[in-house]
Amino acid sequence: MAEAIGALVGAATVQRGKVKLELPPIVEDGNTVPLSVSVESPMTEADHVEGIHIFNEKNPQPYVAGFHFGPRAGKAAVSTRIRLADSQQVVAIARLSDGSFWSDGADVIVTLAACAEG
């Protein structure tokens, strides 16, 4: 996961805050895990969220999804479902128009794993 995040942010520092990642702490089925991400931003031309990126720790592909925004989006928020191979940490990173990166993370326990490679 650290390598995938590094590919996104480069040498920039990722700060905690502004991002709110919500997903259940325990899920019965890793095939369909609901999550929501929102970012505090006025969403103006000068100050807006350019993207929200979701990463996970143990899946074969650590970069789960990327969502891109412009100042006219009105609100920086997404909701989706993802697959998780096992109990692990999920991280959401937002890139703001000033070039800064902000994040939030959550641990989730998966009782029935998905994404198994065989």
pLDDT of residue 12: 96
Asked if residues 15 and 98 have their Cβ atoms less than 8 Å apart, the reply is: no
In angstroms, rounded to a whole number, what is the distance separating the alpha carbons of residues 55 and 66?
Answer: 9
pLDDT tens-digit series, residues 34-82: 999 999 999 999 999 999 999 999 988 999 999 999 999 999 999 999 9
* Domain 2-112 indexed as CATH 3.30.70.2190: no
Phi, psi (rounded to 5 degrees) for 3: -65, -40
pLDDT of residue 117: 54
pLDDT of residue 19: 98
AA letter at 19: V
